[in-house]
Amino acid sequence: MITPEQMLQEAIEEINSLSIDELEAMFREAGFDLVSKEPEDYASLPNEMTTAEWVDPVTLTLSLTCKFAMNDEFLDIAA
């Protein structure tokens, strides 16, 4: 028989050994709600700002700093 205290020690060792990504996967699998990692709220935002407005021909490389805010269309053009 495993004692409760042994189980607790196992739990502490296991949690300490898991990376934060592994912990996240564990919680998601267990059905725990978590803040979504991806900024998916952006997908539903009004996309009034066009690609042309974002791509500055002089500072194209700088524009890549905004890539997180951009959609696939922008990334295709920038690439």
Partner 1 sequence: MSLNADNIYIGYHGTDYDNVESILKNRFRISDKADEWLGHGIYFFTEGISDPIENAKEWAINQAWDKVAKRYSYQKYAVLKAEVSGERVLDLTTTEGLRVYNEMRNLFIREWVEVSKRNLSQKHAVLEAEVSGKRVLGLTMKEGLLDYNEKRNLFIREYESLFDRGRDIRQDNCKMSNLIIKRRKLDILINHLYIKNKTQRILNLVSNAPNTTVMLVTKPQSIKSIKIISSGEII
Give the footprint of partner 1 on this chain (CB under 8 A).
Answer: 1-2, 4-5, 7-8, 10-12, 14-15, 20, 23-24, 26-27, 30-39, 41-42, 45-46, 48-49, 53-54, 56, 59, 62-63, 65-66, 68-69
Q: At its nearest, how many Å lie between partner 1 and the CB of residue 57?
A: 11
Max CA pair span of the chain: 71
Q: Which residues contact 42 (CB under 8 A, 6 or more apart)?
A: 69
Smaller CB distance to partner 1: residue 24 or 77? Answer: 24
